[in-house]
Amino acid sequence: MKFSNMTYTRPEFEELDAKLREVLARFKAAESAEECFAVYEESDEYSAEIDTMSSLAYIRNSLDTKDEFYDKEKEYWDMTAPKLEEISSEFAKALLDTPFRAELEAKWGNIMFINAEIELKTFSPEIIEDLQEENILVSEYDKLIASAQIEFDGKTLTLAEMAPYAEELDRAVRKSAQAATAKWLMARTAQLDEIFDKLVKIRTGIAKKLGYENFVELGYYRMTRNCYNAEMVAKFREGVAAHIVPVVSRLRAEQAARIGVDALKVYDMALEYPDGNAKPTGTPDDIFAHGKKMYHELSSETAEFIDFMLENELFDVLTRPGKSFGGYCATLPKYKAPFIFANFNGTSGDIDVLTHEAGHALASYIVKDITPRDLQEFTAEIAEIHAMSMEFFTWPWMEGFFGEQVNKYYNSHLAGALSFLPYGVMVDEFQHRIYEEPDMTPAARNAYWLELRDKYEPWLDLTDTPFHGEGRSWQRQLHIYVAPFYYIDYCLAQIMALSFWAQNQENPKAAWDKYRRLMSFAGKKTFVDLIKDAGLPTPFEAENVKMVADAAVAWLDKN
């Protein structure tokens, strides 16, 4: 079904609760494993309807935050989702307590049960109102960022529309654009501080009500960390600091020399070549035409996938006033359909929509028929392997997007993958400290961010840069507000994606087969088990981080 024809109907909570509890009662009363399977399948179908309505409300609110109807529906789901967590928690407990658990595990595997145990650690009925308040604050942040109207270059622009100015050849233009954006943000620092203060306090309060010392452990459980912990992540960060930061320092020094500046300012970071970065050569229609050709040539499965996406209007990528910032891939389980949301801005980031976000969407499309639906749900770092690896598997088709600039793109993409890692682990380390010390003042948070910048991004000159120079640039990283402890998943997945890239240089078919096998497991294996199965190096050992970095640098030095 085309996205425009998908009907949204609000399911009232009382009706949802009654139906789900009736199904739960029958699951508990089941007298055989076969009866358990049948009732769980019925529950799956009903929850697919609920999740689809929630996704439709979220997507359509993102498409136009000024639409009053979907604004109200988003508010409804902000209040309803926490109440639904109670019945979900009861289902998890029933799954663990059923006398037919052995038969269910024999058919479904044990990951569902491990994850159910984790889910029970994240919820209690006494935190429902706190979860509702947390959702309201997250929506408040989303609306604030989406409301940006920045006067620049004789136009009124959104944050997404300001992004291309960061790649302007004229340094004065880049500086002025950064100053205009900073001015808009600086005028709202009190709101940004207040929203985050409240989020830290509400999340810390939830953690304490559930019996945790602080939000860190709860945050890991919320992310369904089922095979690694904070200590292992700390080792990964150490590996990045030891082996990636020196490499990126060299790459940034080369960039500064290339574009003719003594030191990289915030407004220099995006410009990589003195004659301009690689940019897509065609219109959005041209980009999608080549994207369709790319996926038709990549495999028969990706051909079927891209046709499904295009025929059913499952992309919305053009920037417009009132549209939310950023990009994402959502799922509409009733229709077994992914949906890709983005904001084209004329930079190489537009192509990421057809690689990164389409990697997410392809994974969702491939696993759409797996039952129960719990087994379709992979954890975030696995999802990011799907997306980040697709960016590299599609390299052979990049000339069709970038023409004669394609070698610039290859170098920028590979160097950018390395350069992202220090920033990504910096976000993670920042969040650990913030939630370990929830009473930190806004000024102390900003000071700590600057301290981390010295550690992870020592090449960056922050003098005379409003907003950034005050240590506030973390406030533009929506994950810090919206999805705490998510960001490290990008970093872990980046190491895996770079490993796939290296294998793809040697044997493209073998690399693709491993990637496709990894994707097919969906939520049936943990992150650690998946990377072992694919023969990828664990990121929790510093030497493996170094090995991946060395392979990328060797390629960059030759090209």
Q: Dump pLDDT digits (tens) for 59-71.
A: 999 999 999 999 9
Q: What is the pTM of this model?
A: 0.94
Report pLDDT for 47.
95
Domain that holds residue 122: 3-134
Tell me the two tokens of residue 546.
Answer: 């170094």
Tell whether 107 is covered by a domain: yes
Q: Determine if the peptide bond prior to 372 is cis (ω within 30°).
A: yes
Element (H, E) at 28: helix 13-28
Q: Count other C-beta atoms under 10 Å from residue 71's C-beta.
A: 17
Tell whether 59 is covered by a domain: yes
**Total structural domains within the chain:** 1
456's CB contacts (< 8 A; 6+ apart) are 240, 241, 245, 422, 423, 425, 426
Average pLDDT over residues 168-193: 97
Tell whether 410 is covered by a domain: no
Q: Dump pLDDT digits (tens) for 67-119.
A: 999 999 999 999 999 999 999 999 999 999 999 999 999 999 999 999 999 99
- Our CA angle for 555, 556, 557, nearest 5°, is 90
Tell whether 464 is covered by a domain: no
Share of residues in the chain with pLDDT > 70 (%)? 100
Tell whether 79 is covered by a domain: yes
Tell me the two tokens of residue 126.
Answer: 């006494």
pLDDT at 321 over 90: no
Quote the CA–CA distance of 59 and 360 in Å, as a whole number. 16
pLDDT at 160 over 90: no
pLDDT at 326 over 90: no
Quote the CA–CA distance of 161 and 232 in Å, as a whole number. 39
Tell whether 188 is covered by a domain: no
Q: Dump pLDDT digits (tens) for 450-508.
A: 999 999 999 999 999 999 999 999 999 999 999 999 999 999 999 999 999 999 999 99
Tell whether 203 is covered by a domain: no
Tell whether 64 is covered by a domain: yes
